[in-house]
Structure formats: C-alpha cells, structure tokens
Amino acid sequence: MPKAASSSADRIWAVFAKDARSEYRTRFAVNALFLFALVTLTALSFATGGAGLTPLLASVFFWVIVFFSALSSLAQTFVKEVETKTATFLRLTAPDDAVFFGKWGFNLLLLLLLEVVLTPLFIVMLNMPVVNWTVWIATLILGALGLVSTTTLIGALIAVAGVRGALFSVLSFPVLLPLLVVLIRTTEVAFGGGLEAGLRDGFLVLGAYAVVATTAGWMLFPFVWRE
C-alpha cells in the first residue's frame, strides 16, 4: 500500500532535515557563520583592550557581529542549490511553501545557534555582563526571527538572479536597518543601560517586524523562486 500523501508540515520538515543533514556533512554555512563571528569578536576584543564598554556600544557591537555573520552565510542555502543545479530538482519536486519555510527554519536554527555560542564569548571577551536575561533572550529570539525572515527571501532573490557578492548586503541593509535600530535599543537595556520604559514598544515592533517580514517573504517567494 502506498504511503499517504505528505502534509505541508511533513514537506517543510523534509526540506529542513535535508538542509540540516547536508550542513552536518559539509559545514558549508556553519564555517562561514561562526568563523566570521569569532574573528570579528576577537578583533573587537583586542581593539577595546578590555576597557569598559558602555551598554549602547556593546549592543551595537553585538548586532554588527550577528548582522554581518548572517549576511556571510544565510544566503548560502539558496546560492548553493542554484550553483550545484539542485535548485532545478527542488523546483520540480517541492511546493514553494515547503522550500520557503524549510529554508527559513534552517536559517533560524543556524542563527539561534550562533547567538547561543556568541553570548558567553561576548560577555567574557568584551567584559560586558548581561543584567536582564529575560530581555536578552527575548531580544535574541525576536532578532533572529526578523533577520531570518528577511534574509531568506533576499537570499533566494540573489541566488536566482545569479548575482552574488555584495548585493546581498546592499539589498538587506536598508530592509534590516529599522530592525537593527530597535534591537540595539532593547539589547542596551539587557546590558543594564537605556530606558526600560520603551521596552514594551520595542518588543512590539520586533514582533510585528518578524510577522510582517515572514508573511511578505512567504507571499513573495513564489515570484522569486519560479519566475
């Protein structure tokens, strides 16, 4: 008896699991992501010389590292598919929703892993302890959701367009700038600076950004992927 047809969740999981298995075997994106983050963090650590950073400056540093690490690797999930011609197999096999959300989920996993690894290293190497862990964790999760929603769609766009290099950063930066500004403000509070009065609005903006960016990405993805 044949298997029952896969549900949407099964198909999304299949894309996610395929990417995770491929990544486990090749370390294609992980190497780029973590090496960039560690090199940048080390450079900043030497540059500041352990001098006391302000919470604002520390939060700027943290998100600069995460932002550029994300740009160095998150587009790879699509770029690699196109360069190795597996994108044609994927297009003729998987529904668009499964591809978008499967890749979205995989990128989210990568970014959350980066944040988990980066957090203790950042605290130790830049001597900047987190004061409010609830705010810190909420900011990391909402920040990752916002970053991933945008970079997944733009990654597909540059991969399909056949344009690589700086275009990913150039396209992503203006879209992500509002997100980064709010993330820096909420992270500043987590480091014991800033004004807690604006936190609620900050989280609302971050949550709304993630929802809007994910929805827009999901709706626009078929036009990028198929046309």
Partner 1 sequence: MVGEQPHTSFALQIEGLSKSFGKRVICRGAALRLATGESLAVVGPNGSGKSTLVKIVAGLMRPDAGTITHSFGSSEIKREVWHRHIGLVSPELALYEELSGTENLDFGNRVGGWGKMAADYAAALDEVGLGGRGNDLVSTYSSGMKQRLKYAAAFLKDPALLVLDEPTANLDEDGVARVWSSLARRTLALIIATNEPSEAERAQSRFVVGR
- 56, 57, 64, 91: which one contacts partner 1 (CB under 8 A)? 91
Residue closer to partner 1 (CB basis): 95 or 192: 95
- 47, 49, 51, 85: which one contacts partner 1 (CB under 8 A)? 85
Residue closer to partner 1 (CB basis): 28 or 68: 28
189 counts as binding partner 1 under rule CB under 8 A: no
Write down the number of H helices and E strands in the chain.
Answer: 9, 0
20 counts as binding partner 1 under rule CB under 8 A: no
Eight-class DSSP state of 198: G
226 counts as binding partner 1 under rule CB under 8 A: yes
- Taking the complex as a whole, the smallest distance from the CB of residue 227 to partner 1 amounts, in Å, to 7
Q: Return d(Cα 155, Cα 172) in angstroms, integer.
A: 9
6 counts as binding partner 1 under rule CB under 8 A: yes
- 98, 126, 148, 160: which one contacts partner 1 (CB under 8 A)? 98
Eight-class DSSP state of 158: H
Eight-class DSSP state of 163: -
Give the orientation angle of helix 96-125 with respect to helix 76-83, to 10 degrees. Answer: 130
Cβ(60)–Cβ(141) below 8 Å: no
Eight-class DSSP state of 135: H
- 35, 46, 89, 133: which one contacts partner 1 (CB under 8 A)? 89
- Taking the complex as a whole, the smallest distance from the CB of residue 93 to partner 1 amounts, in Å, to 4
- 42, 54, 88, 134: which one contacts partner 1 (CB under 8 A)? 88
Residue closer to partner 1 (CB basis): 193 or 222: 222
Comparing CA positions, the residue from 178, 179, 189 lying closest to residue 55 is 189
Cβ(16)–Cβ(105) below 8 Å: yes
> Which residue stretch of 20-28, 43-51, 69-77, 156-164 sits at the interface with partner 1 (rule: CB under 8 A)?
20-28
SS3 203: helix
Q: C-alpha dihedral over 45, 147, 179, 163, to 10 degrees? A: 100
Residues binding partner 1: number (CB under 8 A): 31
> Which residue stretch of 10-18, 70-78, 160-168, 193-201 sits at the interface with partner 1 (rule: CB under 8 A)?
10-18
